Amino acid sequence: MRRICIINQKGGVGKTTTAINLAAGLSRKDRKVLLVDLDPQGNVDTSLKVKAEGDLSDAVMGNQVIQQCISNIATNFFVITSKESLSEAESFMAEHENRKEYLKKLFESVNDYDFMVVDCPPAMGLLSQNALSLCGEAFIPVSTDYLGLEGLKNMISFIQRSNTHNGTSVKISRVIPTMYDARNRICKDTLAEIQTEFSQICSYPIRINSKLKEAPKYGKSIFSYAASSRGSKDYSQLVEEVLAMK
């Protein structure tokens, strides 16, 4: 099973949009996928309108077994949602001796999938640290603007420090330029810089597309909301790249 966290401490760069559409796209390619929301904002639930029996905080606090918190929302597509109570669960985890590997232990029995895709919060606290110990790969969405590029560099250092000091072994396997607008000079310049500096791991850019903003309102992935949109094409391309990676 490939465990991929979608991570960037910078807010609003397209983490949740990428996590949802990557997971949905992989499931449409006959891969069994579990999408896990690790953000107390609960945007996965809001975007996919999941009717879950329990959420991640229930599993963390021991109120529900983890398997009961998994909802099947489409063929091959499974989800564990979160809500505000995950902040309390984070404090609960902080009291635990193995707090940085709490989720790794919790998810030990969850291995019947081809992919686990983890949507991280925009903060480098204990939840993101747990994502790094749970996952073998990190995908970093980065908005194609100057601040986005700075955030990317900070994010890479954070993951490298975690690998050195916290015993994680996360490979940064994709940098995903997001919100790309070819008419905008700063977008073009930033994309060129990212492509030069990270040529081996840089994905095709995800273009700015209003359909990607609309889809969550209808509880749909971009593939079922607007199959012929740019957003759908760009995320399909990402799915193909991910499947082609060794």
Ligand X SMILES: Nc1ncnc2c1ncn2[C@@H]1O[C@H](COP(=O)(O)OP(=O)(O)OP(=O)(O)O)[C@@H](O)[C@H]1O
Sites of contact with Mg ion (CB under 5 A): 15-16, 43
Residues 109-148 that bind ligand X (CB under 6 A): 122
Quick note: the x/- pattern for ligand X over 141-180, rule CB under 6 A, is -------------------------------------xx-
Half-sphere exposure of 43 (CA within 13 A, CB side): 21
Out of 96, 105, 213, 217, point to the residue binding ligand X (CB under 6 A): 213
- Which residue's CB is nearer to ligand X, number 120 or number 134? 120
How many residues at the interface with ligand X, by CB under 6 A? 18
Angle at 17 between CA 46 and CA 65, to 5 degrees: 55
- Which residue's CB is nearer to ligand X, number 54 or number 121? 121
CB of 230 to ligand X, least distance (A): 8
Residues 15-34 that bind ligand X (CB under 6 A): 15-17
Q: What is the 3-state secondary structure (H, E, C) of 27-44?
A: HCCCCCEEEEECCCCCHH
CB within 8 Å of 231: residues ≥ 6 apart: 21, 206, 207, 209, 211, 212, 215, 222
- When asked if residue 208 is in the footprint of ligand X (CB under 6 A), the reply is yes
Q: What is the 3-state secondary structure (H, E, C) of 86-136?
A: HHHHHHHHHCCCCHHHHHHHHCCCCCCCCEEEEECCCCCCHHHHHHHHHCC
- DSSP for residue 89: H
CB of 20 to ligand X, least distance (A): 8
Residues that bind ligand X (CB under 6 A): 11-17, 39, 41, 43, 122, 178-179, 206, 208-209, 212-213
